[in-house]
Structure 1
Amino acid sequence: MSRSTFKVLFYVNGSKEKDGIVPIMGRVTINGTVSQFSCKQSIPKTLWDVKGNKAKGKGKEAREINLTLDNIKAQIIKHYQRISDREAFVTAEMVRNAYQGIGSEYETLIKAFDKDCANFLKRVGKDRTIGTYKVMVRARNYVAAFIKAFYKRNDMSMLELTPDFIKEFAAYLTTERNLKNATIWLNCMWLKGVVMRAHYNGLIPRNPFAQFHISPNVKEREYLTEDEIRTVMTHEFENLSLAFVRDLFVFACFTALSFVDMKELTTDEIVEINGEKWIIGKRHKTDVPFQVKLLDIPLQIIERYKHLSKGKLVFGEINYWTMCKQLKKVIKECGIEKQISYHCARYTFGTLALTKGMPIESVSRVLGHTNIITTQIYAKITTQKLDNDLTMFGNKLNKAFNDVSMI
């Protein structure tokens, strides 16, 4: 292993001379990298010892300047040793910045990640959710574990990062953590975002991950067919907790509410229009208005759990992670072999609504989408939908060509 070359020297900047006074500058050199800085000191040009890199003589001014320069050099050596103990790659700029207190929070990757996590946490409850914050922290911990496993360190300099780092990180998540492609993509995007922000803020000279791309390769979203919904609705559960979880899932299938919107549903949002009950509110995620008519089945569910309501909350206090875990048991007990989450209820609603002939514009309004393109993602072209559309088209063609015979 080659030995590091480290040197600190002082000189005066003759080009800035004014009335015979020149500013004293410092220069750090490490392995060929050079970084300069101002010592915040000035000296008569005639008093500077060019060869000795210090003030001449033993006068009071010379002694004070030399003492200041010795202190600066000691501080720089201290920073150099501290960074060398922690990092495998040290540059003159890193040491100078540490001495000047520039970018100290972003000296290393994990520190940068922690800084971003802290900033994200401040936004939780405003325009970010605690669930997303936990996903970000999990990505941070994966990066820390990767550095520990492959670099045998607890952290590393942002300047050490190369395009290969994120590629190796993705491979680590595949081979060592057994994560699926979509989850690997998500963790890499968190990492890429942290480094990108550091670059945009001028803390690193380039973004080593700028050209990195990985496809999320997300599987087609699951939804329940009409027969499967009927199976779930009619299944008798011995466990009352599972029955409750099933009922809320069915409620979501018939109203297209996301879990958080269902959790926050209040009696104030249930209004009567022309003698019928409607939910009129704004989506938690986008703050976009939505409205949906309460059909008989969701009305039955609201009435069934009226005793659980707390304050104005229709379903009382419900926890997302607990409900999702139990939903898997519900689907399995019903004999359905699909990976179903509460969010799949919205896909189920969109698919059924379009299959039954509801215009996509109306479906988009019910779902509370800001763009109809988003609604098209939910639209599943089922065999039943194709059969209905082609039958209708065939009937019209038969009527149009009824008087025509093939020759």
Structure 2
Amino acid sequence: MKRSTFKILFYINRNKQKKNGKCPILGRITIDGTNTQFSIQEDIEPGLWSVEKGCSIGKGKDCKALNLKLEKYKEDLKLHYNRQVESNAYVTAESLKNALLGIGTHEVMLLKEFEVHNKEFFESIGITRVKSTYKSYNTAYNTLGNFIRYKYELDDIPFSHLNYTFIEEFDFYMRVTMGYTSNTRHGRIRMLKQMVMRAIKKEVIRNNPFADYHVKSSPGERKWLSREELDVIMQTPIKRISVNYVRNLFIFSAFTGLAFIDLQTLKWDEIFTDKRGMQWIRKKRSKTDTEAIIPMLDIPLQIIKYYKGSGKDGRVFDIGSYSLVLLYMQELRGLLNMNTLGFHQARHTYATTVCLSNGVPIETLCTMMGHRNISTTQIYSKITKKKIDEDMQILEKTIDRKYSLPKQMQNPPLQNTNNHIQQG
């Protein structure tokens, strides 16, 4: 398609001068010789207007604000023009004016649709969705809303206004203005893209403006406890009942690999005994809805035996909110004199210190951890290799200078070693 001639002009209507001496400012859109006018709902004194520049030449705040408004009109008109050319392959001065003023259009708005999505998601919690993911969507919604207000001074933006520049600026806002990590940015951009795909499926827009934009996420650092650290947690006397209870729950998780939410919802009917008398946990993970099959070792068996009957509604344990558990974990850190100790470290410790370090095959661990694919489990395998390297460095320092070669071997021979072998 041959591109149309497109011009935007702002001027004042001197024939409509008001009693205060000001004249109304009008805009004129011209496409292929055909034009249409519109009012920007602003007035100005004729002496402060430049006919050549099509803007105010005043130095005051009002004049500067007016010029910014005129530039915004130009940007919006250019955006509407390019969009109509791409979508309809046809554009007129009148259609551009209508798009600018919102006449005859019912734009579907990004944040409004995001809000509808989150409401639908909330209604599915406990059925096909989990609350933690809902919170992530809400956080992404708030971040996006803050960005739109920060960058465009708008409360919302239509899907039809989204382009590659929008997502670039959103990423820049998160990276530079907010200082978010690559993983945080990756997650929120992924959710923004999901809203765009939702709009495409609902035929709100036809093309994905973000299809070629990608933010790489870096593998999250898994923190685990060494055998010695785990032993300190298990053997240190804890007098306060609540803190001791949380400590024992942590130990249970460290020997079963259950995440907090799965431990909190663990029921007795999810524990079964096989023909050999061995007890197992068979439970669908709340996060992924993937089944985890876990053999019960002696330590977790002792813990559930000790607390048997404390849980309600068929649950094994009576566990309060995660925020309350975090408070007790903070107190536990102080008692153990440990700088960092998070509940989720128990799951990572199960994968590394308890299982992989003791020769459990990674394929078996994948099933026990309830991972959807083995690539997730392989992260722990890399951690174990790193741990071996760290242990070997410690060993090297420990045995340094404790052993020595025979004296005759401490100075290298001048002649070829093969001669010694032949002469021997």
Query: Could you say whether these structures have the same fold, taking a TM-score greater than 0.5 normalized by the shorter chain as the test?
Result: yes
> Cα offset for 1:331?
3.7
Of the structure 1 ranges 275-284 and 344-353, higher mean CA displacement relative to structure 2 is found in 275-284
**By how many angstroms is 1:286 displaced?**
4.2
The Cα offsets for residues 211-261 of structure 1, whole Å up to 9 and x where unpaired, read as 221122244211111111112222334543332222211111101122222
The residue that corresponds to 1:258 in the other structure is 259
**Which ranges in structure 2 are unaligned for 5 or more consecutive residues?**
1-8, 11-26, 30-34, 38-76, 89-93, 393-419
Query: Which residue of 2 is the match for residue 163 of structure 1?
Result: 164
Q: Is 1:131 matched up with 2:148?
A: no
The code of the aligned residue for 2:110 comes to L
Contact kept? 2:309, 2:316, Cα under 8 Å: no
Instruction: Name the structure 2 match of 1:247.
Output: 248
Measured in 2, the distance between the counterparts of 1:191 and 1:383 equals 36
Deviations 1:36-88 (A, max 9, x none): x9xxxxxxxxxxxxxxxxxxxxxxxxxxxxxxxxxxx9xx9xx96xxxxxxxx
Instruction: Say whether residues 1:297 and 2:305 are aligned partners.
Output: no
1:381 aligns with 2:384: yes
Q: TM-score, normalised by structure 2?
A: 0.64
Correspondence for 2:369: 367
Residues 385 and 197 of structure 1: CA distance in aligned 2, closer, same or farther (over 3 Å): same
Of stretches 245-254 and 269-278 in structure 1, the one that deviates more from structure 2 is: 269-278
Q: Distance in 1 between the 2:196 and 2:265 partners?
A: 36
Q: Is the 8 A contact 1:310 1:317 kept in 2?
A: no
Task: Please give the alpha-carbon distance, in whole angstroms, between the structure 2 residues aligned to 1:169 and 1:231.
Answer: 46
- Give the C-alpha shift of residue 116 in structure 1: 1.9
- Tell me the SS of whatever aligns to 2:384: coil
What's the secondary structure of 1:279's corresponding residue?
Answer: strand
**8 A Cα contact 1:355 1:384, kept in partner:** no
**Partner in structure 1 of residue 325 of structure 2:** 323
1:174 and 1:180 in contact (8 A); partners too: yes
In the alignment, the residues of structure 2 paired with residue 193 and residue 4 of structure 1 have an alpha-carbon distance, to the nearest angstrom, of 38
In 1, are the aligned partners of 2:167 and 2:210 still within 8 Å (CA)? Answer: yes
After TM superposition, which residue ranges in structure 1, 4 or more long, deviate above 6 angstroms? Answer: none
Is the alpha carbon distance of 1:345 and 1:212 closer, same or farther for their aligned partners in structure 2, counting shifts above 3 Å? same
Q: 1:381 is aligned with what amino acid?
A: T
Shift of 1:356: 0.8
Paired position in structure 1 for 2:406: none
| Cα distance per residue 1:118-145 (max 9 Å; x no partner) | 2322322222111111110111111111
Q: Quote the offset at 1:315 in angstroms.
A: 0.4
**8 Å CA contact retained: 2:280, 2:296:** yes
Mapped to 2, the partners of 1:328 and 1:302 lie a distance apart of 24
Say which SS state the counterpart of residue 223 (structure 2) adopts. Answer: coil
The percent of aligned pairs where both chains have the same amino acid is 31
- Which amino acid is the alignment partner of residue 298 of structure 1? P
2:186: which partner in 1? 185
Partner SS for 1:150: helix
8 Å contact kept, 2:28–2:36: no
Task: Say whether the 8 Å CA contact 2:312–2:318 is kept in structure 1.
Answer: yes
2:158 aligned with 1:150: no
Match of 1:310 among 309, 312, 324: 312
- In 1, distance between residues paired with 2:110 and 2:327? 34
2:216 equivalent in structure 1: 215
Letter in 2 for 1:164: T
State the number of aligned residues.
Answer: 314
Query: Matched residues in 2 for 1:309 and 1:243: separation?
Result: 17
CA-atom RMSD, angstroms? 3.6
Partners of 1:226 and 1:129 lie apart in 2 by 33
- Distance (whole Å) between structure 2 residues aligned to residue 184 and residue 349 of structure 1: 29
